[in-house]
Chains A and B, each alone.
Chain A
Amino acid sequence: MTSQLFFQYLVAGITYGSIYAIVAIGFNIIYNTTGIINFAQGEFVMLGGMLAISLHSMLPLPLAIGLAVLITMLIGALIEIIFIRWLKSPSILRMIIITIGISILIREAALHVWGEGVRSLPYFNGNEITTIQLWGTNISPQVLWVISVCSIIVLLLSIFFKYTSLGQEMRACAANRLAATLCGISTKNMVTFSFMLSAGIGALAGCVVSPITYTQYDSGTGLAIKGFTVAVLGGLGNSMAAVAAGILLGIIEAFSVSVVPLAFQDAISIALLLLILFIRPHGLFGSKEAAGLKDF
């Protein structure tokens, strides 16, 4: 393998890996406040992309993306308020089945609204064939957009959780719901916020990745599976581990192309998911003790 090819694979791996990481962080935010896996997370990514594409026909690109993210956040909040909030101490399984139902609902609604067509946002800079020379390889500027937007999301999220009072309240809710309630924090509102937040970052990821991967009514499903793999690989609930695991999975997938046919790419991540679930269900970076205390 030439060094040029090596870098090409590496960059592709990091690009896809950061998208997986963002989807996984969306899983983790909701998992931390509710203890459930929101299987509609991939649909938020699809919705963000689709909404931005539709809005872009009327609005300039940045405005269309901003509005798409806001609308998706609103949809996230509505979903939580309509389907989750009123449940009285629901079982984990029941909530998970509800989120699967929601994901099917959103997908079918998207099919109804946007049809089966494959769409995409235009490249943010230049077009399909614009490239930048970096370490002897040709990189699309959109790749840099994906990587930098994902890094900024991770950075802003860690600042949000560490330094803002809302972020701390959400962490408190994740750490100990009973104690958070007894501090006067409305845990139900925190769950709504967590749905809004993960819908928002999912939608933003859906927008930046749309020019490269294209968006279709069912493109969320595949991303949700990859994101879930990454979340489990890193250890559920741990966002920094999700970034590492995401980039790891992205790179493994990218380099696998040089060994096995492209069609097997998805099989590799599923195989990895099964392997992890058998061998290290608490994830690569998670602690066994902590996993033992969780319901799920």
Chain B
Amino acid sequence: MKRLLSSITDGKGFDILLVAFPLGYLFLMSGLPLLYNVLMSFQEVDMFSRGSFWRPFVGLKNYRDLFAMPETLPILYNTGIFVVASIAGQFLLGFGLALFFWTNFPGATWLRGLFLVSWVMPGLVVGAIWNWILSGDFGVLNFLLRETGIIDGNIFWRSDPDFSLWAVIIANIWLGMAFNMILLSVGLSAIPKDLYEAAELDGANAFQRFWTITLPMMRSTIGAIISLGLIFTLQQFDLFAAITSGGPNNSSNVTQYWAWDLSFRQYDFAKGATISVIMIIFVMFASVVYVRSTRHEVRG
């Protein structure tokens, strides 16, 4: 007992104590649900068996049923488009802004930071604002597009199956762009200035300097940001809830919204768990890429 106490005041016991509680908590609240999710995906879960842990095992039936559903493939396809378009938009616009603010005129840092408001706002509020901006007859975006001659008639962003997914993508790009820009700015400012001076003396023009110095030096940052973008994009739920609710007719539905919809709207917890398992495996794969690309920075 005395040794235990002295280990806590003076030795490794202190560290173990500090780390044991949070890790235990995370195991209980994240680890166990994760395992439970996998278990449920192999069980039959309905309103009656929900209260019991020992539900009938059905093997891979949930997975077979899931892929037999007509909406599964379109929703997976939507998810792919949502992820690729969101990341591309956030990254490219974010990179452009980061390069612009990199010139470091007075006030640049403060103004750049201001962009991050989109990221700290509740997702549901962002969704509500864009829902209104994208409204068909009275939306301000349609008005601006009409005035500038880009479109002739109103686009019904939320109710037209051809545009509903893009409505969410636009909002998501706005939401995540600033975060991309801030992280890219950090990466840019880490490149030593004398590299550019050396390249300039070697005769490289601005475009060549960007391709031969900026991009290669940013490789690990870009890798980290794209995998972070993938992770955040797959977490995006609030915008779907606030703008289209996955409709019309699943045209803007993606897996992370669908999983919730299956469980909490259709009370099909087994299928909700099944699609969750599939997506979680995918997200974990992305996070391994993220961890690998930040690995040397993690070790500091």
> Do A and B interact?
no
